[in-house]
Amino acid sequence: MNTHEKINYLELPACDLEATKAFFSTVFGWSFTDYGPEYTAFDHAGIDGGFYLSDKRARTAEGSVLIVLYSKHLAQTQAKVEAAGGTLIRPVFDFPGGRRFHFTDPSGNELAVWSDVD
């Protein structure tokens, strides 16, 4: 459902759309719909969005917003991220409200996963 003046959709760069789709479908169960050779939309991610073909990447060090996913089982999710080709760039750390880690996807985009339980 579209909600007036609320975040509705996210778009991220991806240098390899096929690897990006495989990673997010394997680790997080996202579904994809291709719209030509340079764009794929995702759903089943909590919010819909897409990846566009680009040599750019979304990294906090470069001023990008950080997309943070939630997990009930942080260690299991980290293992899935790494097994699917994600790169851990910040190991699990405590922060007010829980614990989290940061990783990059196959296209080099930085994301994080947090949990309020072990």
Residues sharing a CB contact under 8 Å with residue 107, sequence separation 6 or more, in sequence order: 12, 13, 14, 15, 16, 19, 20, 51, 57
CATH class for the domain made up of 10-115: alpha beta
- Map out the domains of the chain as residue ranges: 10-115
Gyration radius (Cα) of the chain, Å: 14
* pLDDT more than 90, % of the chain: 95
pTM greater than the 0.75 cutoff: yes
Q: Does residue 118 surpass a pLDDT of 70?
A: no
CA distance 102 to 87: 9
What pLDDT is stored for residue 113 in this prediction?
Answer: 98
Determine how many CB atoms are found less than 10 A away from the CB of residue 31: 13
